[in-house]
Amino acid sequence: MNYYIVTGASRGIGASLLRKLIVPGNTLFAVSRTLNEDLVELAASLNVPLFYYETDLSVREEAETFIHSVFSKIHLGPYDKIALINNAGMLEPVSPIKSIDFALAEKHLHLNLLTPMILSSVFLTETAGLDIPKVILNISSGASFNAYSGWSVYCSSKAGLDMFTQVAGLEQNAENQSVTVFALAPGIIETGMQELIRTTDETLFPERDKFIRLYEEGKLSDPDDIAQIILSTIFNFDIVTGSVVTIDQLKAIMNKSSFSCG
């Protein structure tokens, strides 16, 4: 059995991942603030176990309750695989540092940084000592290593997520039956977040027009394509624990595997 835990499941990359994962042999755990009824119906029609949680992961207690509930339903055997995909995230607040909405910034940091820490911590504890394929994938962003005016909170949370990934990797390298932990900057993808960016007041985000041009020139990736690359490589042994990779690097790993099998 393959077990997948996917956060931010209602739309974007999360929804694309789940749609592709709804196949026999998988047991899925999805979480978002709002239910994606289409995914629930698809899973039911194919008799694929999907446990869907309507949960606000920006609330620490709810994040803890969610992940403990997930592991109360999982019974791992010697031939199983398990992956946690920390995909949930938010962009707001978008503003100059001098006018940050601190309440929104707190919610942001809880969702983008603290929640992956909580979920990963429980995942590592619950899977310790099991000699099976185990993966934590943190969805990061190019904003973790490129500064954008107006995105101080977003850039900081993603940079923090990358460093958390690297530290977790160091710790796992010292463990027996370790978990592969890595972060992915998936590139610019046509999601709800991109729609928000394109409608942001330019005085709050001076580089807005750059993203509008990318959209108009058709240079945004399709979330389904990104999901396919992720799922084709997530258990690949060439992924280095603690690494932070770009989508092009992950694509190269996928192509290398395809060539090796050809």
Separation CA 30–CA 14 (nearest Å): 9
* SS3 (DSSP) at 56: coil
Type and span of the H or E element at 185: strand 180-185
CB–CB of 31/7 below 8 Å?
yes
Task: Say if residue 49 is preceded by a cis peptide, omega within 30 of 0.
Answer: no
Following DSSP, what letter does each residue of 125-163 receive, concatenated? HHHTT--S-EEEEEE--GGGTS--TT-HHHHHHHHHHHH
DSSP 237: T
CB–CB of 184/253 below 8 Å?
no
Residue 154 among the catalytic residues: yes
Type and span of the H or E element at 42: helix 37-45
* SS3 (DSSP) at 86: strand
Residue 188: count of CB within 10 angstroms of its CB: 18
Separation CA 14–CA 5 (nearest Å): 10
Q: Which one is catalytic: 79, 148, 154, 215?
A: 154
- Which active-site residues does the annotation give? 154
